[in-house]
Chains A and B, each alone.
Chain A
Amino acid sequence: MAKRIDVKNLNAYYGTFRAVEDVTMTIEPRSVTALIGPSGCGKSTFIRTLNRMHEVIPGARVEGSVHLDDADIYAANVDPVGVRRTVGMVFQRPNPFPTMSIADNVVAGLRLNGLKNKQVLAEKVEASLRAANLWNEVKDRLNKPGAGLSGGQQQRLCIARAIAVEPQVLLMDEPCSALDPISTLAIEDLITELKSRYTIVIVTHNMQQAARVSDRTGFFNLIETGQPGRLIEMDDTQKIFSNPTIRATEDYISGRFG
């Protein structure tokens, strides 16, 4: 069910400025891959190319290919909207829709795409909230607005919303950076549970989080400012954090820069 991602020679541009250069990587299904690296090295730009969100920004474009299993998501006849239903995304700051209740938020992706059957929607609400470990906390106030929850709860709500559309891949762009340590722990536990059903790619600034949560880790870096970001090294998490091959990776891991 969960898909494999093959990225070949991916370059991402903002107008004429190349932000990400020549990235090639493979992400196995039902695994968690962490992308680490210093600020501004293109991790978020790269992850947004995986669900065609990068091109939403005016003037932005992508060269290279990204395949989900064997389908090129950048092929000429592919609808980006369809890609985004297959590849879900959770953002750095929780963004529940303020005019909708908690229940409506969870199934927003389904309702806005035409699903009307109340029974099915109610079941989806419960299933997604249980999967996101939020059900017990909100089951008595499903009709209250989503904005009344704490930061960690809102982020879990956004995760529930993302998985309610049943994507194959889940992208997470620094999902815990706006949260306190307790909520962070709750979400990391959640990621570990979710990986049995989804392929997960997570961008994080927190190296310890990458070490805790991921199976494989990719290290992005800039050679110097003004240069595009590159994938320097990608390997099993254990190996990256104990015995990296490239000098820059080791410097970053041990805190000599970044």
Chain B
Amino acid sequence: MTTIGLTSDARLDAGRPDGPGPDLGLGLGQRSRGRAVRNQLARIVMWTAFAIAMVPLAWILWSVISKGGAMLLDSHWWTNSQRGITNRVVGGGAVHAIQGTLIQGLVTAVIAVPIGVMTAIYLVEYGRGRLATAVSFMVDILTGIPSIVAALFIYALWVTTFGFQRVAFAVCLALVLLMIPVVVRSTEEMLKLVPNELREGAFALGVPKWKTLVRVVLPTAFSGIITGILLGLARVMGETAPLLILGPYTKNIATNLFGGLMPTLPTMINQDRTEVLQPAVDRVWGAAATLILLILILNIAGRLIGHFGRPKT
């Protein structure tokens, strides 16, 4: 990379006692030494800030992978649950938690994606007046809601008002609240990126507006929308507050959304986080590594689809 030091041109400096930079005798002044110093200083500050920001990230990744990575290499991790395993015993796996996280992620996506995408379509293609402004404002507010507030809201609605039990579906509802604004905003961006000329070209052929949307605009924006969805999903799959309030942990495999308890990776981590016995500690780190791996896969998949799926305009 760049070497630390003033940039200087040795040829031009040679033989000049009064400082770097050529004096061309044209009254243009010499190359400013002060500016070069400030430039270098700014460069140092920028790289230092970057390094400071990178350190925690690298540290977390290193800690999790070194402490939990070994668990992931065991095939039992991916096939067994924690049924019958106590804190002293080495063994068992995380398939119950992995399944739970994936099932909840899927259900959340199935609900949040249509709502989010259609809201974005309304805001970009149809909305003109006060309703559109209000909706956009509401989405902005939703973007900032802390996950525990969303969880408490769903608790108040589902458990206190409707009288239902705490089930996995309630967790999904809270995650839906958190996922919708992400999907709306990223879909909006992708729709705005579709050049207006494409819409006009379709209108000029006598294609009605809704059909233009469905057959021209959405396919063009499609890969970007998928990216947004996957990134939104990656964000909510790690949210723990809704799980703590609405989704208690169990050691067994459970797939019923509306009855009983469903384990997930965050609650698996939370369950044993105060343990000191090595087998339990290992499993906690293993679950953390699995969660990070899952989110990493979603992120990479999202960006790959966004990159390779994009049509050339």
Given A95-B195, A108-B202, residue A81 in contact with residue B312 (CB < 8 A): no
**Tally of contact residues, A, Cβ under 8 A:** 30
Residue numbers in B under 8 Å from A83 (CB-CB): 206
Interface residues as binary, A62-98 with B (CB distance below 8 Å gives 1, 0 otherwise) = 0000000000000000000111111011010101111
Q: Are A98 and B205 in contact (CB under 8 A)?
A: no
CB of A1 within 8 A of chain B? no
Query: B114 to chain A: which residues have CB within 8 Å?
Result: none
A165 at the interface (CB under 8 A from B): yes
Comparing A8-16, A50-58, A124-132, the segment that makes contact with chain B is A50-58
Q: Is B197 a contact of A165 with CB atoms below 8 Å?
A: no
**Contact with A91, one of B204, B208, B216 (Cβ below 8 angstroms):** B204
A147 within 8 A of B: yes
A119 within 8 A of B: no
6 residue pairs from A and B, CB less than 8 Å apart: A51-B204, A91-B200, A97-B202, A99-B216, A109-B207, A113-B206
A41 interfacial contact with B, CB 8 Å = no
B212-256 to A contact mask, C-beta < 8 Å, 1/0: 100110011010000000000000000000000000000000000
| A200 beta carbon closer than 8 Å to chain B | no
Interface presence of B311 (CB below 8 A): yes
- Complex alpha-carbon distance, A81 and B207, angstroms: 7
Give the residue among A81, A96, A98, A108 with the most B Cβ atoms within 10 A.
Answer: A98
User: When A58-B128, A95-B200, A98-B220 are in contact, do A85 and B205 touch as well, CB less than 8 Å?
Assistant: yes
Interface string of B122-133 (1 = CB under 8 A from A): 000000100000
Contacts of B215 in A (CB 8 A): 112
Binding site for B on A (CB under 8 A): 51, 53, 56, 58, 81-86, 88-89, 91, 93, 95-99, 108-109, 112-113, 145, 147-148, 158, 161-162, 165
Tally inter-chain residue pairs, CB-CB below 8 A.
Answer: 76
Q: CB of B203 within 8 A of chain A?
A: yes
Whether B312 contacts A98 by the Cβ 8 Å rule is yes
Contact A53 B203, CB 8 Å, known A58-B128, A99-B219? yes
In the assembled complex, the Cα of A56 lies from the Cα of B200 at a distance in Å of 9
B198, CB-defined interface residue at 8 Å: yes
Contacts of A53 in B (CB 8 A): 200, 203-204
Option from B204, B219, B311, B313 in Cβ contact (under 8 Å) with A84: B204
Smallest Cβ-Cβ distance to A51: which chain B residue = B204
B211 contacts A by Cβ under 8 Å: yes
A158–B204 CA distance with the chains assembled, in angstroms = 11
**Complex alpha-carbon distance, A142 and B28, angstroms:** 60
B200 in contact with A108 (CB, 8 Å)? no
The listed residue (A82, A91, A147) touching B201 by CB distance below 8 A is A91
**Selected contact of A108 from candidates B128, B205, B312, CB within 8 Å:** B205
Q: How far is the CA of A100 from the CA of B202 in the complex (A)?
A: 13
Q: Chain B residues near A89 (CB, 8 Å)?
A: 204
CA distance A56 to B211 in the complex (A): 15
Residue of B with least CB distance to A97: B216
Write the nearest CB–CB distance from A33 to chain B, whole angstroms.
Answer: 18
B311 pairs with A98, CB closer than 8 A: yes
- A88 pairs with B204, CB closer than 8 A: yes
Q: Which residues of B contact A161 (CB under 8 A)?
A: 201, 205
Which 6 A/B pairs are nearest by Cβ-Cβ distance?
A: A85-B206, A109-B205, A98-B311, A89-B204, A84-B206, A95-B197
Q: How far is the CB of B254 from chain A (nearest CB, A)?
A: 42
Q: Is the CB of B219 within 8 A of A112?
A: no
Taking CB atoms, residues of chain A closer than 8 Å to B208 are: 81
Near A by CB (< 8 A), chain B positions 148-207 give 195, 197-198, 200-207
